[in-house]
Amino acid sequence: MKKNLLAIIILALVIVNLAMTGFMMLSVMTTNSQTAKLISDIAGALELEANGGNTGGFSGSASGNVAVTDLAVFNLAGDDEMMINLKPSDDGSSHIMVVDIVFSMNTASPDYATMGTEEKLTSMKELMKSKVNDVISAHSMEEIQADTEGIQTEILEAIQELFGSNFIYSVSFSKVIFS
Sign of the CA dihedral with 94 first, then 103, 129, and 157 last: negative
Band the pLDDT of 135: cuts 50, 70, 90: very high
DSSP letters for 56-105: S-STTTT-S---GGGEEEEEE-GGG-EEEEPPP-TTS---EEEEEEEEEE
Q: Report yes or no: 155 and 82 within 8 Å, Cβ to Cβ.
A: no
Torsion region of 139: left, alpha or beta (phi above 0 gives left; psi -120 to 50 gives alpha): beta
Domain boundaries, the chain: 1-51, 68-178
Residue 46 has pLDDT above 90, yes or no: no
pLDDT of residue 47: 65
Bridge partner residues of 89 (DSSP)? none
Strands 71-76 and 96-106: antiparallel
Whether CATH 3.30.479.30 fits 68-178: yes
Q: For the residues 115-139, what does the mean pLDDT come to? A: 88
Q: Report yes or no: 52 and 160 within 8 Å, Cβ to Cβ.
A: yes
Poorest-pLDDT segment among 17-21, 42-46, 99-103: 42-46
Band the pLDDT of 13: cuts 50, 70, 90: very high
